[in-house]
C-alpha cells in the first residue's frame, strides 16, 4: 500500500466516522460542535463535510447547521430492500414473540459489532425495546456469544446489554452449517429464572432451526 493509498483510506474512514455522529438523537450539528465531537481539525471537518455534500450524504441548512443529506434516502431504501427478511422468517419471529411474550431479535455480525436486522417486540408491558439497525458490542449478550463463536448450540446471558436484562440465543445456519445470524429472546432478568430460561432456550433453538431450514434470503441477485 502506498502512502497515497493510505491517506485516501484514512480520509474515507474519517468521513464514515463523521457520518456516524449523526443519530436519531442528534440529527443536526454546528460546525464547532462537530469538530469537537470528531476530534479532527476544523479544516478537515469542513473538507469532509463539503465532500459528503457533493454526494448528497450531508446537507448544510440555511441556518448553518449540518444534517444528513437527501442522498441518504437512496441508501436507506437500498439497505431496507437488501435486508428485508422473507415473510416466512418474519412469521417465525412473530410466533416466537407471541408464544414467549418477550422481544425477539435477529442479529448479524458486522466487523466488531452486532447489528439487529429484524425485531418483533414482546407483548409484556415491561419489555426490551430496540429496533432494526441498533448496534451492540460484539461479545454483548447471548447473541454476541453465538456470533463470536464462544457458544455452542445456545447461549444465555444476564446483565447485558444493560443491567436487569437477560437473553437467550441460538445460531441460524446455512446449508453447510455456517453461522449466519443469531436469534435472541430478550427481556427483564426477573422473568428469566431457571425454569423460564430453560423453556425460552428450547423455544429459541426450535425457532432458529426453522429459520435455518427456510433460509434468510429468497431473493435473486
pLDDT-above-90 percentage for the chain: 71
CA diameter of the chain: 59
Eight-state DSSP code of residue 220: -
Question: How confident is the model over 78-126, as pLDDT tens digits?
Answer: 887 878 889 999 999 999 999 999 999 999 998 888 999 999 999 888 8
65 and 110: one domain? no
Interval 66-75: pLDDT, tens: 999 999 999 8
d(CA 22, CA 178): 34
Q: Which CATH number belongs to the domain containing residue 53 in this structure?
A: 1.10.10.10
Q: What is the band of 3 on the pLDDT scale with cuts at 50, 70, 90?
A: very low
Give domain status of residue 102, yes or no.
yes
Q: How confident is the model at residue 218 (pLDDT cuts 50, 70, 90)?
A: very low
More confident residue, 150 or 185: 185
Q: How far is CA 170 from CA 34, 111, 143, in A?
A: 40, 20, 7
Give residue 221's pLDDT: 43
Range of the domain at 57: 3-72
Q: Are residues 64 and 164 in the same domain?
A: no
Residue 71 pLDDT: 94
214 Cβ contact list (under 8 Å, min separation 6): 86, 88, 89, 92
Same domain, 134 and 205: yes
| Whole-structure pTM value | 0.76
Amino acid at each position: 500500500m502506498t502512502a497515497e493509498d493510505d491517506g485516501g483510506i484514512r480520509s474515507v474512514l474519517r468521513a464514515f466516522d463523521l457520518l456516524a455522529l449523526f443519530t436519531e438523537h442528534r440529527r443536526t450539528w454546528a460546525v464547532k460542535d462537530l469538530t469537537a465531537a470528531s476530534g479532527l481539525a476544523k479544516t478537515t471537518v469542513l473538507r469532509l463535510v463539503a465532500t459528503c455534500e457533493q454526494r448528497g450524504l450531508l446537507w448544510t441548512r440555511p441556518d448553518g447547521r449540518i444534517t444528513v443529506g437527501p442522498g441518504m434516502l437512496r441508501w436507506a431504501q437500498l439497505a431496507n430492500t437488501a435486508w428485508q427478511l422473507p415473510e416466512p422468517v418474519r412469521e417465525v419471529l412473530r410466533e416466537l414473540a407471541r408464544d414467549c411474550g418477550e422481544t425477539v431479535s435477529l442479529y448479524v455480525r458486522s466487523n466488531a459489532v452486532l447489528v439487529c436486522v429484524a425485531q418483533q417486540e414482546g407483548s409484556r408491558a415491561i419489555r426490551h425495546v430496540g429496533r432494526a439497525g441498533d448496534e451492540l458490542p460484539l461479545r454483548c449478550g447471548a447473541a454476541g456469544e453465538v456470533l463470536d463463536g464462544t457458544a455452542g448450540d445456545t447461549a444465555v446471558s444476564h446483565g447485558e446489554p444493560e443491567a436487569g436484562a437477560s437473553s437467550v440465543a441460538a445460531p441460524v445456519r446455512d446449508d453447510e452449517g455456517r453461522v449466519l445470524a443469531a436469534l435472541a429472546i430478550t427481556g427483564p432478568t426477573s422473568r428469566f429464572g431457571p425454569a423460564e430460561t430453560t423453556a425460552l432456550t428450547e423455544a429459541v433453538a426450535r425457532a432458529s432451526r426453522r429459520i435455518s431450514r427456510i433460509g434468510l434470503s429468497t431473493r435473486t441477485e
